[in-house]
Structure 1
Amino acid sequence: MTHAVSSPSPASSTSTAAAGPERAPGVPTRPGGVAGPWQRAMMGWQRLRWQAGSLVSPAATARALERLWFCPPRAAANSAARRLLDSARTDWALVTGHGPSRRVRVYRWGDAGPVVLLAHGWGGHAGQWHAVVDGLVAAGMRVVAFDALSHGASDAGARGAAQTSVLEMSRSLLAAAWHAGPVDALVAHSLGGAATALALREGLPASAAVLVGSPADMHAACASLAWRMGFTPVVLARMQRQSERWLGVPWSAFNVPDVGRTRPVPPTLVIHDRDDKEVRWEDGAAIAGAWPGAQLVTTSGLGHRRILQDPGVIRRIADFIRPEATPACAVIPPALHGLAVD
């Protein structure tokens, strides 16, 4: 396993993310993720409310937790994201086999080179990749991105525009991949990493994968959220049993490390920031430790979203996908100094 420590570059520390916050649903915070006195009071009141509801009406409270968990936040595109999307060649892919066919918006850039498919995270959209797209196209690659169902410009999912799941995100990814033709590499951010793992488990071929800030286990993540918000274990178990009926798979299927233990996976680069407040660094380390031959790159000071705009990170992604494009004597970017091999 390769392990690198990175610090943010000046360019990345002054930019803003194109995608909105991928925070836990129902947990209000100030911009930047710091809760103020009013937000802390509201969070305390909500916790008491859910604790009481768990005791008085566990069935209704389980339905409320289900709505919260499967409701993605809506993120408006900033100017950089809009410019990227306006510059793309666009068309549609179709998700079929689960009720009526639904359209997934697909975006393309570049005219030659390996095809790289980008998978956004929960509540994100294709525009969040603006810096990554520029870097990969400049490195001689063709780039494809998409909006998952119930995200961005794509159609609503099977349960309407306000509800979706990592499983539906994975189906969106598969539809975009088959529509775009043979895909050489996959790059995923946050929950897009879990969607990518599910797609690989279904047999999606790729010669390389990059997972940035990806969670390891949806069951553990949901349990953590439920505990923080005041839902009891009984309510959590009820909610998961209810959702398994319409998901069609058990929650144990959403364990990313297990995919690498039980299925062939391509060479994988896992990038995770020590200061990620939304997905723990330990999640990335768990994925890298379980997937055979995976490399772990640890950054510092980039958090969960600015990491997608850091030039050193983007260069590392491009070098991993297309290593022959990097001369043997190339200088390591300043943001990736301190490389150490475990």
Structure 2
Amino acid sequence: MSSSSAKKSTIVRAKKWIAIGTVRSAFRVLEVAAPGPGARWAERLWLTVPKRAWRPKSFPPVPEGEAFSLRVGAGTVLGRTWGEGPAVYLMHGWGGTGEQLDAFVEPLVDAGYRVVSFDAPGHGASSQSMAGRGRSTLPEFIDSLRAAVDRYGEPHAVIAHSFGAAAVVLAVLDGLSAGRVVAIAPMSDPIGFSYTFAKMLGFGERIRTRFLKAVEKRVSTSMDVFDIPARMRAVDPATLPPLLIVHDLGDREVPVASGEKLQAMWPGAELDTWTSLGHFRILIDPDVVRKVVAVVSVSSVPRTLPVP
């Protein structure tokens, strides 16, 4: 890196930390003096999607596929399908796009599957979220998957990344029947993340509880519905499909502890850890893709063993 590039990078980092420090200072004041306005601000930030989705230097080439559109709420979800056979659904994470999982398309088609991929509301080519431009919500991720399944049939498997994996877990807990699930760098506790979010932005319980109430009102659903650990404690293990968790040990966006937590909650889940791939490059690593496709290609196993 040249000296000018290094200087520019240092300036950008400094500006970023100044901005974060200013936000934290403001939230500390609002926590004490005006938790209501603080909660409204926190809710906006909670629902805001990053402006730029991660892109590798070059996406794996894939055929054009067949475009489709789905009505989800008041919006339109756009996606593509490839191949014929049992359906395998690909679900991106928060701030992502369906094409981030393109590395799985051709291997799955070659293995005899129909691949279904889409952009969630407020992401990629799909229309804006019910939360407004530049935002999205967890229920819309779940509803998009349900709409795709209604169109293309019961999943032989679902491969999901990060926040998308949380949506898939919740869909399964709500009754989605899937032959198996692959969760890559999964977020395993969306409600628990609100504590991390509060700590990161510098506010306490007065704002945290209020902003969750605001989200609850916006999506017309109790936050208890999205409490994965609590719901996992109440689920019948026999209703759960086989689960493979793929996580990089050095993931900075969603630490591997999240994958370990999901493994501990999900009876029989396998955790496959990797190194030096991070949160996104794990989606295009050839060895990871081969492992995931091999697992997906295994015939579904009985959810309960026969009584001798």
Gaps of 5+ in 2: 1-8, 300-308
Q: Check the 8 A contact 2:77/2:120 in 1, yes or no.
A: yes
* Pair 1:125 & 2:97 matched: yes
How far off is 1:293 after superposition? Answer: 1.3
Q: How far apart, CA to CA, are the structure 1 residues paired with 2:130 and 2:201?
A: 27
Q: 2:296 aligns with which of 321, 327, 331?
A: 321
The 1:45–1:77 alpha-carbon spacing in structure 2 relative to 1, beyond 3 Å, is: closer
How far off is 1:200 after superposition? Answer: 1.1
Which residue is equivalent to 1:93?
Answer: 70
Equivalence map 1:90-169=2 (5 Å): 90-96=67-73, 100=74, 102-111=75-84, 113-169=85-141
Q: 1:251 aligns with which of 205, 223, 235?
A: 223
The 1:67–1:175 alpha-carbon spacing in structure 2 relative to 1, beyond 3 Å, is: same
TM-score, normalised to structure 1, is 0.78
Which residue is equivalent to 2:35?
Answer: 58
How far off is 1:316 after superposition? Answer: 1.1
Which residue is equivalent to 1:285?
Answer: 260
Q: How far apart, CA to CA, are the structure 2 residues paired with 1:94 and 1:65?
A: 29
Which residue is equivalent to 1:311?
Answer: 286
How far off is 1:239 after superposition? Answer: 0.8
For 1:64, give the aligned amino acid: W
How far off is 1:251 after superposition? Answer: 2.3
For 2:292, give the aligned amino acid: I
Higher relative contact order (CA 8 A, sep 6+): 1
Q: How far apart, CA to CA, are the structure 2 residues paired with 1:80 and 1:130?
A: 11
How far off is 1:256 after superposition? Answer: 3.0
Q: How far apart, CA to CA, are the structure 2 residues paired with 1:38 and 1:157?
A: 30
The 1:77–1:297 alpha-carbon spacing in structure 2 relative to 1, beyond 3 Å, is: closer
Q: How far apart, CA to CA, are the structure 1 residues paired with 2:102 and 2:36?
A: 43
Partner of 1:219, secondary structure, is coil
Q: How far apart, CA to CA, are the structure 2 residues paired with 1:210 and 1:259?
A: 19
Number of paired residues? 286
Which residue is equivalent to 1:301?
Answer: 276
TM-score, normalised to structure 2, is 0.86
Which residue is equivalent to 2:17?
Answer: 40
How far off is 1:77 after superposition? Answer: 7.7
Q: How far apart, CA to CA, are the structure 2 residues paired with 1:274 and 1:197?
A: 21
1:112-171: CA deviation from partner (whole Å, max 9, x where unpaired) = x33110011001111111212233223332211011111111122222233321111111
CA RMSD of aligned residues (A): 2.2
How far off is 1:76 after superposition? Answer: 5.3
State, as a whole percentage, how many aligned pairs show the same letter: 33
1:300-334: CA deviation from partner (whole Å, max 9, x where unpaired) = 1111100001111111111111126xxxxxxxxxx
Bigger drift between 297-306 and 244-253 goes to 244-253
Q: How far apart, CA to CA, are the structure 1 residues paired with 2:102 and 2:139?
A: 25
Which residue is equivalent to 1:328?
Answer: none
Which residue is equivalent to 1:220?
Answer: 192
* Pair 1:269 & 2:241 matched: no
1:154-213: CA deviation from partner (whole Å, max 9, x where unpaired) = 122222233321111111111111112232110100000111012112211111100111
Q: How far apart, CA to CA, are the structure 2 residues paired with 1:229 and 1:136?
A: 41
Bigger drift between 128-137 and 263-272 goes to 128-137
Q: Check the 8 A contact 1:257/1:291 in 2, yes or no.
A: no
